[in-house]
Each structure stands twice: as C-alpha cells, then as structure tokens.
Amino acid sequence: MDKVMSDKKAVVIFLLPSFILFCAVIIIPIFMSAGYSLTEWDGTRAKVFIGLQNYKELFSSPVFLKSMLNSLIIAVASVLIQLPLSLLLALCIAHGVKGEKFFITVFFIPVILASVVIGQLWARIYNQNGLLNLFLRALGDKDAKTAWLGGMKTALPAVIVPILWQYVGYHMLLFYSGIRSISQDIFEAAKIDGASFWRTCSSITIPLLKPIIEVSVTFAVVGSMKTYDLVKVLTNGGPASASEVITTLLVRTMFYPGNRYGYGSAMAIALIAECFLLYLALGRIFREKPEKLEKPLKDERSAA
Amino acid sequence: MKKLSKLSPGRAVMYLLLSAWAFIQLFPLYWMFTFSLKSNQEIFGENPVGLPKNWLWSNYTNVVENAHMLTYFFNSVIVTVASIAVVSVFGMMATFALTRMVWRGRGAMRMFYMLGLSIPIHAALLPVFIMLRDMKLLNSHLSLVIPYSAFALSMAILIFIGFISGIPTELEESACLDGCSIYGIFFRIILPLMRPAISVVAIFTFLQCWNELLFASTYATDWHYRTITVGIMEMTGQFRTEWGPIGAGLMAATLPTLLTYVLLSDKVRSSLVLGAVKG
Amino acid sequence: MKRTKRPFLLKLSSLTLCAALLLTGCGGGGASAGSGSGNQTASGAGGKKTLTFWHIWGSGDSNSTAVAKVIADYETLHPDVKIEVQTFENDAYKTTIRTNVSGDTAPDIYSAWGGGFSKPFVDAGKVLKLDDYLTNEDRDKLVSGALKNFTYDGGVYGLTFGMSCSGLFCNSELFEKYGVPLPKTWEELISAIDTFKASGVIPISTSIKERWVIGMLFEAIALKEAGADQMYATLTKNGGSFSDPAYLDAAKKLMQLEEMGAFNSDAAAISRDEAEVPVKQGQAAMYYMGSWASGSVDAEDSVDAGKFKFIPFPTISGAKGLPTEFNGGGADGILVNAATADPALAADFVKYFTENLSREDYQAGNYLPTYKDAQVDESKISPTTLDIVDATKDASDFVLWWDTLLEGSDVTTYQDALDLMIQKQLTPEQFVEELKKIQP
C-alpha cells in the first residue's frame, strides 16, 4: 500500500492548488510588505528606499504603541471576561437544563451576525439617547446622557463590550462540545461519590477541558489582534486614539488619509510578528500539561 | 410538578443566569427590529423601547429601493459560497496529501499550512491589492474569493485533519489490494466519508467571509460587486440620522442569515460540536 | 484497474469543470469591470463614442439631480456620445480613486479634490493638462481664483463647478430671543457663547469625531490670526512656517472655546450629520460649516428654516486676518485621465459639465458659482444662499481647507495632533510642535 500512497506525482497534484493559493496570498505578501516597509511610498509616485527608518519611527510613535497596548487589553479582556462567562454558560447548559437547544441557538446568534450590523446597533445603544442611557435613566439617574463612545476613558471599554458580546456564544459552543465529549461514566461516578455541581466542575470537567480551553484562548487572543470591524464602526479608533487598535491605525495610515504605503507596510509586518509571537508563546505555555491529561480521557473512552 | 420539586436554589440560579444572558443577547436585536419601524420622533422622544405605535413599513421600502441592498446581499452570498467551494476542494486535497500519503517533509508542510492561523489577514491587504490590480482582477467576485479562501485554508485543513484521523485505514488498505489507484482512494473512499467535515468547514468559512469588512471595502468598490458589509456602511452614510431606514437596512441584511440559521440550527449545532471535538 | 479508471476520470473532470465554471462565473464580472480603464473610447451600440465618468454625487447626495440633469443634457446635445457614469460614496472614493489612478485603471473623467489631494496624480503624469483646451474665451468666463486649487506648476489640471467657503451659520431666532448681537469680533463671540451657555442653548454645535469638522473651526481661527497669504504659503510649503506665533495663538483660542464649554457635550462621539440635528431642532445657536450646509439648515425638517444668517468668522483684533478672507474655495473639480483616447472630447465634456453644473448648483443653493454671469432665477434661491453670496461678494482671498490642501501624511499629522489637543492630551505648544513637523 505504501507504494501507492507515496506516488510523488499524486502528492504534487493534490498539494498544488492549495499551495499556490497559500503562497500567493499569504507568503508572498509577507515578503512584499517587508520590501515596501523599507521604503517611503505614496502608492502613486516612485518608491524611495529608506532602510529601517520606518521601524524606528514606528516603535517611537506613541499612537502605534497605544494601539498595540489596546489590542493586548482587548485580548486580556477576552480571556479573563469572555471565556469564564462562556465556560460558565456551557457548564450550566451541559449539566442538563430544559430548553437546552433554545439557549444554544440563541447564544450563537450574535456570532452569525455581521460585525458591522453589531457595530451599528451598539453605536445606537451608546448614543446619548440610546438604550444604555435610557436604561440608566430608568434606574434613577435622570441625567444620564453620556456619549459613551466619545469619552477618552469610556471609549475603549465601550468598544470591548460588543466584541465580547458577539463571541461568547462561539466559545460557549466550543466548551459545550468539549463537555459533551467527556464520557458520561465519569459524571455518574462523581455523582455516586456525592460530588456537588461545583466540585464536579472544578475537579473533573475543567481539567478535562484543558485542550479545548487552549484552543479557545488561542482563538480569543489572536482574534483580538485582528479586530477591525467593530472598532471601525464604533469609534474608528477615536477619540484621539483612545480606542485605536493596530488594524484601524494601519488602514488610516496606509490608505486614507495617510497614504503612506511604506510606513503602513512596516506596521503590517509588526502586526504579523506580534501575532506570530503570541501564537508561539501560547503554544509554549500550554505545552507543559496536555500529555498527562489526554491519556485518562482515552482510557475512559475505551473502557466505556 | 416533578421538575418543580427538583428545583434546588442552585438550579434556579443557573436558569437565572442563562435567561439573563439570553435576554442580553436578544434584547438589542428586538430593539433594532422595533426602531426599524419607527419614525425618528418615536425613537428619540415618545417611545424608545416599546413596540412601534405606527408600523412604518415605508422604512423598508425606502431602503430596498434606494440602497441596492439586494444586490449587495447576493454578492455576499456568491463570494461566500465560492470561497467555501474553493476551500473545501483545495483543503481536502491538501489534507489527503498531508495525512494519508507517504512522503518526506510531510510534517513540515503541515506546520507551514498552520502558519495561516497566526497571520492576520489585514497584513496582506496592500500586497494582495497590488497583485489583484496588476492582474486586473479588482472589482470582481474573484477579488474577494481569492484572499478569503487563502485565509480560510489553514482552519479548513485543521478541521479536515481532525476528521480524517477518525477514518480507519483498513478501507484504503483493502481498496489497494483490490487494485485501486491513489486517485480512486481519494474520490471513492475518503471524499464520501468526509461529508460531515465539509459542513463544519462550510460553517467556519462562512463566519469568516460573511462578516468581512476590510478587504470587501478596499477591493470591491464598484457597486455591482459590493458585499453586504460595505453596503451597510454606505447605507448608514446615505440615511445619516434617520434611524428608521438604517434599522430597516440592518434588518434586511440580518434577517436572511438569521432565518437560515434558526431553521438549520440543529444541523449547525451538531456540525459545530463535531468539528470542535475533532479539531 | 479497468473498473476504477473510467468513473475516476469522469469524477475528476467533472470536479475540475465545476470548479472552473464557478471561478470563471465569478471572475467574469472582473473582465467587464476592468473596462473602467481610461484607454477606451470603445464604440458601443451604433458606433457611439463613450466616456467613462466616476463621481461622488450619486443618489442621496444633494448634488445628484443637478449632476444627472447636466449629463443628460450633454448627451441630448451630442447624440453620438454616451457618458458611462459610476457613482461612489464620498469616503470610500478617496481611497478608490487614488488606487485606480496609480494602477492606471482610472476612467476617462473623474471627480477629485484640489490642492494636495490631486497633486500626486499630477506629479506622476496621470492627469491631462488642460491648458491647450482652454481658450481665452473659456478663461474669461471663470470667476477669478476659480482654478487656484487645480493649477500645478503653472498648468491647469482640472476644472471646477462650484466654490464653497465655511462660515458661521447663526440661528437669528435664538440670537434675538436672548438679545445677542451677531458676533463680528472675537470678544463678541465669547460673550455670545457665555450668554447662550447660561441659557441652556448649545453655543456651537460641532463634531470632534469627524476631525475635519472641528478642523474647519480651528482653521478659521488660524486664518484670522495668520492672514491668508501667510497661511497659504505655509500650507503649500512655499515660504511660510508654522513657527509663526499666529498658530499658537489660534490653538490657544480653540482650547479656550473648548474649556468654556462652547461645544455640545457629545461632540466627540457623534458624526457631522448628528451634529446638525440640534441645529435643525433649534437647540444650537451657531454652526460653523461649509456653505453647502445652507441646504440642510433651510430644509423642511429644520425648525428655524430660513432664519439662519451666514456670517464670516469673527475677526481678531491685532491679528493679520481680514474679514474678507475665507476658508474654502474651489475644492471639488473634474479631472481628465492623461491616457484617455479622445482628449478633445473629454475636455469638451468637462467644460460643458462644469459650466452648466455651476449654474444648476447655484440655483439649488449647493455651491457658489465659478462661472460669471450665471443666469439664475434669484427669486428661487434660498435666503441663506443669497446671504452667503452677499457675504462673499467682496472676498479678497480663499484658502483651501487643510485636509485637502495638505498632502496625505501631513493631513494625518495635523489631524492626529488636533484630536490629541482637543482631548487635552497635548498642550497648544506641543500641538504647534507637531505642526512644525509638516513645515518648520
């Protein structure tokens, strides 16, 4: 059989389409961007080679550093706020509740909505006369008319909320499926032993979910780095870059009004590097534990 | 009655939490629906939160007539479906080579494809733009299908690899003994068994493509090819401060996906569960 | 072997065929879209000559009816010519047109902005120089200064159809109600703001989120401080400098307004359109905006329609700016692609288009005319527009808004710094330091 399976020509044929697409859209652009990042270029006139000057400017630019910080803040918020909430919801549903299907369906709805729709909707919620202020007025604060997206201190948190709101359902579904794949025998055994809901969760469910938690954390972190749509629609990075993320800054600089293709490319390279480093770092953090836990799961399965 | 007596405080809290969150997820959508049917006076003055007093369906006709929403919607559908097709075909083929075929460098190639997961799509914006421009492919469906498929490949391959590892090799071994060629194995054995994988990949790819704003607004500016995400931005610029028509436009963009999702929710749910486990 | 080969081949070919169909089906649109390039005056049905024309005045824009009418009129006068129009949304267009011009896929004719916006196109040789197509008669028809922002290195590269300037729209109802005179000097402005603030009226409605709106106000103050000549020389990097103390004074005055609460509380969160809402509901006393806003403030849904007075920005005593100097000018223009197949035809259309649109737009109150003797029915023009004409008839100079006059990255430097200063992250001194990076 190996002879059939090692037909070199077939390997090439099967790999070629995806390989070409991948290289053309992902690999080659990285090199192109790297090339542009060493120039000063407005897209229309000739390129001017300036070496690493763009990078020097980038890393001493307060706006860029702020945007990197904001992206990281969003990543941290995703992991520390969104994931625990998703996990909690998944635990509740998997535990067995009436209307399980209903809840899962509803929780996933924001995920399938276009981010721009969510952005436009939340922009109106945050309006001076929008839902949030109406709600606060109903609670007693008659004067509630803050423009949440316009305050230096409130803009970033205001932007983070819809980002989290949208993807809670996504992570919840990941966790839910992870829980569902754990053999029921373990839960039965725990019940017989008299373990409470919380005990079961903390000692059994969560440890066994580690692989899924890793995946969730990775997606949440890398996803936060790529956030664009919601921020663009809500604040476009304002006011005064209070809610600026790397992607909004990139578009502003590269296309309109900045028109600096060279400098923008340096930013793009910086973004790629940051995502890649984070991805590796997360991989390293998670590498210590998995082996030990995967074994019991397999054993239980084969026993059951 | 039995259920009630079993309702311990713990379970009550659980239901409370779930219901509260369900409310938080649904209320904004309800609000969008209601203000899409109101006049600005109602929204800003008399009746911000309740059901509309006068159901202004004219908001909807206004948007459909003036804002090309249907064209944009179809463009999004075309681009998304095409991307799903490309990703499925290319990804499946690559997965087969990466997992079942035997050759050196297989592991390295797998890691190579996984690079796509960590690279943000926005970083490719300018170079791909220049490539498409030079190939005269801008302002076409292809200008979006190409980048979308490329970036969805890594995820698709990841999912396919997860699924294919669940297919036992015995089938292929016996097919080989029967004299089946490698292409035969791919088409007659693996492909049919991977159908559930394709629906998972379809859903994940859909999520990536449907929502996408940046590339869509840069590459497909001709209104014949605009997607719904760009259309929404344009519509809000056109209708400025009239929340009613804007809400109608948002609803028009959302309703089809929402209905499809709710109708297929069972299938979607089970696919995703399956995908998450295997992936 | 035999059994499996045939069905396999069938499957492989059908799969490839499907994929190919799918892809070409989607890409088919690309081929036709590519015909947006300027090198075609392809003959359509019946040997007609075609000109492709891109602009931003699609449905929903105040200009759209006038534009459509002028184009239709031209086609009636020249039955052998077809104008293929494509419209775009304003903001998206700024990027679209740039990328298309640099990629040589621009149409025969397109709308663009003057000053620093189109300069890269001209420098790269992509724009047709129009001097050869402008006779002395043509030039005489134009109002003086009409082509100022489309003249590069002595050559004319675009024609304009309308001028606008920014000024202060004052709700005379509110001014009379609170006994406030229309401000002619800075001191009067400050006292007006104080009175309105105390009476619960928004003194000046503006948008900080859309930086060009607050930018206009800053530039008005700067113009009154520095004077038109100095400012123009600085912005075109032709002998001026931001070290001139006028700019620091202007920055400080802007912050004075911000700190005394002259602006609406949600200015940083709302768009320009949303900032117009209080103006139209009679809750804001003043609105500093381009003259095109006269259409909006006089619209049916404006509570005090017809009661707005348009006045130039108040002067500052001791400073160099004159009351006859305005921000603005001919900012919107039409350019011709240097690679167009029939330059004479294109130039002819552009001349017709701008001259006639100038008249239509003036009639509709959208712009001030750039062609003299525009025959319009003055009785049908809104009083606010007539006001504007009156206010500007003795104008001595126009300086284009900074976000158009400056080039790309300079605009970002300026706007970012302005944003930071307004949000109190930069002092006025630091703001000026940032400006000096543009022109020391």
pLDDT tens track for B118-139? 777 777 888 888 888 888 887 7
Q: Best mutation site among A18, A40, A42, A44 for testing chain C: the one with the most C CBs within 10 Å? A: A44
- pLDDT for C205 equals 94
Q: Which helix (H) or strand (E) holds B45?
A: none
> Which of A290-299, B40-49, B110-119, B261-270 is modeled with the greatest confidence?
B110-119
**Same domain for C247 and C276?**
yes
- Residue C252: C-alpha distances to residues C105, C221, C249, C327 (Å): 45, 10, 5, 19
Q: Do A26 and B232 make contact, defined as CB atoms within 8 angstroms?
A: no
Alpha-carbon gap, residue C176 to C243, rounded angstroms: 41
Give the CATH number of the domain where residue C112 resides. 3.40.190.10
Q: At what angle do helices C245-259 and C408-422 cross, to 10 degrees?
A: 40
HEC string of chain A equals CHHHHCCHHHHHHHHHHHHHHHHHHHHHHHHHHHHHCCEECCCCCCCEECCCHHHHHHHCCHHHHHHHHHHHHHHHHHHHHHHHHHHHHHHHHHHHCCCHHHHHHHHHHHHHCCHHHHHHHHHHHCCCCCHHHHHHHHCCCCCCCCCHHHCCCCHHHHHHHHHHHHHHHHHHHHHHHHHHCCCHHHHHHHHHCCCCHHHHHHHHHHHHCHHHHHHHHHHHHHHHHCCCHHHHHHCCCCCCCCCCCHHHHHHHHHCCCCCCHHHHHHHHHHHHHHHHHHHHHHHHHHHCCHHHHHHHHHHHHHHC
Res B254 pLDDT > 90: no
**Same domain for C265 and C125?**
no
**B255, closest residue in chain A (CA to CA):** A113
**Same domain for C324 and C336?**
no
Alpha-carbon gap, residue C221 to C227, rounded angstroms: 10
Alpha-carbon gap, residue C109 to A78, rounded angstroms: 48
Q: Do B149 and A129 make contact, defined as CB atoms within 8 angstroms?
A: no
Which chain A residues are within 8 Å of B267, Cβ to Cβ?
none
Top pLDDT among C423 and B190 is at C423
Q: Give me the residue label for tokens 């304003």.
A: C90
From chain B residues 112-131, the ones with a CB under 8 A of any chain C CB are 129-130
Which chain A residues are within 8 Å of B98, Cβ to Cβ?
15
- pLDDT for B276 equals 61
Quote the DSSP letter at residue C214. H
Chain B nearest-CA distance from A278, in A, is 9
Chain C nearest-CA distance from B261, in A, is 25
Q: Residue-wise over C267-287: b if at least 16 C-beta within 10 A, else e?
A: bbbbbbbbbbbbbbebbbbbb
- Give yes or no for B171 touching A (CB within 8 A): no
CATH ID of A61-303, from 2.30.30.90, 1.20.1740.10, 1.10.10.370, 1.10.3720.10: 1.10.3720.10
Alpha-carbon gap, residue C293 to C275, rounded angstroms: 12
Using an 8 Å Cβ cutoff, are C173 and C307 in contact? yes
| In chain B, % of residues over pLDDT 70 | 90
- Look at residue B7 and give its three-state secondary structure: coil
- Give yes or no for C303 touching B (CB within 8 A): no
- pLDDT for A3 equals 65
Q: Do C403 and A43 make contact, defined as CB atoms within 8 angstroms?
A: no
Q: Give me the residue label for tokens 């029921």.
A: A184
Top pLDDT among C347 and B204 is at C347
| Burial label, A27 (beta-carbon count in 10 A; 0-12, 13-18, 19+) | middle
**C425, closest residue in chain A (CA to CA):** A240
C-alpha radius of gyration, chain A, whole number = 24
Reported residue count of chain B is: 279
CA atoms within 13 A on the CB side of A204: 23
- pLDDT for B277 equals 62
Q: Which phi and psi (to 5°) does residue C40 adopt?
A: -120, 120
Q: Do B66 and C91 make contact, defined as CB atoms within 8 angstroms?
A: no
Number of domains in chain B: 1
**Same domain for C239 and C338?**
no
Q: Is residue C31 domain-resident?
A: no
Q: Give me the residue label for tokens 């190939």.
A: B135
Which chain B residues are within 8 Å of C27, Cβ to Cβ?
137, 140-142
Q: At what angle do helices B228-239 and B58-66 cross, to 10 degrees?
A: 110
Chain C nearest-CA distance from B161, in A, is 21
- Residue A81: C-alpha distances to residues A86, A87, A174, A229 (Å): 9, 10, 16, 21
Which chain B residues are within 8 Å of A115, Cβ to Cβ?
211, 213, 229
> Where do the H-state alpha helices sit in chain B?
2-5, 9-35, 40-41, 58-66, 69-99, 106-118, 125-134, 142-164, 170-177, 182-184, 191-193, 195-210, 214-219, 228-239, 243-263, 265-278
Quote the DSSP letter at residue B122. G
Alpha-carbon gap, residue C271 to C146, rounded angstroms: 30
Q: Which helix (H) or strand (E) holds C333?
A: strand C332-336
Per-residue pLDDT in tens (0 to 9) along chain C, 440 residues: 333 333 333 334 344 444 444 443 333 333 333 333 333 334 444 568 899 999 988 776 778 888 999 999 999 999 999 999 888 777 778 877 887 888 788 899 999 998 888 998 999 899 999 998 888 888 888 887 788 899 998 899 999 998 889 999 999 999 999 999 999 999 999 999 999 999 999 999 999 988 899 999 999 999 999 999 999 999 988 888 999 999 999 999 999 999 999 999 888 888 888 888 889 888 999 999 998 888 788 877 788 888 899 999 999 988 888 888 999 888 899 999 999 999 999 999 999 999 999 988 888 878 888 888 767 777 777 778 888 888 888 888 889 999 889 987 888 889 999 999 999 989 999 999 999 999 88
Q: Is residue C311 domain-resident?
A: yes
Alpha-carbon gap, residue C367 to C398, rounded angstroms: 14
Q: Do C208 and A239 make contact, defined as CB atoms within 8 angstroms?
A: yes
**Same domain for C356 and C211?**
no
Q: Do C101 and A126 make contact, defined as CB atoms within 8 angstroms?
A: no
For β-strands C202-205 and C325-329, DSSP reports them as unpaired
Question: Is the peptide bond preceding residue C343 cis, with omega within 30 degrees of 0?
Answer: no
State which amino acid sits at residue A235: T
**A146, closest residue in chain C (CA to CA):** C266
Number of domains in chain C: 2
Chain B nearest-CA distance from A279, in A, is 6
Q: Is residue B264 domain-resident?
A: yes
Q: Give me the residue label for tokens 């070496």.
A: A51
**Same domain for C233 and C347?**
no
**Same domain for C100 and C223?**
no
Q: Give me the residue label for tokens 């499946």.
A: B92
**Same domain for C173 and C315?**
yes
- pLDDT for B233 equals 78
Q: Is residue B26 domain-resident?
A: no
Q: What is the pLDDT of residues B3-27, one digit of tens each?
A: 444 567 777 888 888 888 888 888 8
- Residue C234: C-alpha distances to residues C182, C238, C317 (Å): 31, 6, 22
Which residues share a beta bridge with C397?
C325
**Same domain for C322 and C215?**
yes
Using an 8 Å Cβ cutoff, are A249 and A67 in contact? yes
Residue A126 neighbours by CB distance under 10 Å: 25
Which chain B residues are within 8 Å of A215, Cβ to Cβ?
276, 279
> Where do the H-state alpha helices sit in C227-340?
228-235, 245-259, 272-280, 294-297
**Same domain for C338 and C225?**
no
**Same domain for C292 and C416?**
yes
**A138, closest residue in chain B (CA to CA):** B49
- pLDDT for B33 equals 85
Alpha-carbon gap, residue A104 to A127, rounded angstroms: 30
Q: Do C33 and B180 make contact, defined as CB atoms within 8 angstroms?
A: no
Q: Is residue B33 domain-resident?
A: no
Q: Do A239 and C408 make contact, defined as CB atoms within 8 angstroms?
A: no
Q: Between C29, C89, C99, which is nearest B140 by CB?
A: C29
- pLDDT for C159 equals 93
Find the mean pLDDT for residues A175-185: 78
Reported residue count of chain A is: 304
CA A13 and chain centroid, separation: 34
Which residues constitute the domain of residue C277? 165-328+398-436
Alpha-carbon gap, residue C178 to C172, rounded angstroms: 10
* ipTM attached to this prediction: 0.80
Which chain A residues are within 8 Å of B186, Cβ to Cβ?
14
- Give yes or no for B100 touching A (CB within 8 A): yes
- pLDDT for A297 equals 42
Q: Is residue C37 domain-resident?
A: no
Alpha-carbon gap, residue A228 to A217, rounded angstroms: 19
Q: Do A235 and C209 make contact, defined as CB atoms within 8 angstroms?
A: yes
Q: Between C5, C29, C95, which is nearest B224 by CB?
A: C29
**Same domain for C194 and C298?**
yes
Q: Do A255 and B218 make contact, defined as CB atoms within 8 angstroms?
A: yes
Q: Do A26 and B151 make contact, defined as CB atoms within 8 angstroms?
A: yes
Give the CATH number of the domain where residue B84 resides. 1.10.3720.10
- Give yes or no for C20 touching B (CB within 8 A): no
Q: Between B79, B85, B137, which is nearest C30 by CB?
A: B137
Q: Which chains have 3+ CB pairs within 8 A of B?
A: A, C
- pLDDT for A205 equals 78
- pLDDT for C433 equals 93
Top pLDDT among C190 and A1 is at C190
Tally B–C CB contacts below 8 A.
105
From chain C residues 58-97, the ones with a CB under 8 A of any chain B CB are 59-60, 86-93, 95-96
Band (A55; pLDDT cuts 50, 70, 90): very high
- Look at residue B277 and give its three-state secondary structure: helix
Q: Do A115 and B211 make contact, defined as CB atoms within 8 angstroms?
A: yes
Joined together, the tokens standing for residue A261 give: 């293709």
Alpha-carbon gap, residue A137 to A129, rounded angstroms: 10
Chain B nearest-CA distance from C40, in A, is 15
Q: Is residue C17 domain-resident?
A: no
Tally A–B CB contacts below 8 A.
269
Residue A2 neighbours by CB distance under 10 Å: 8
The answer to whether the Cα torsion of A28, A34, A38, A43 is positive or negative is positive
Q: Do C33 and B225 make contact, defined as CB atoms within 8 angstroms?
A: yes
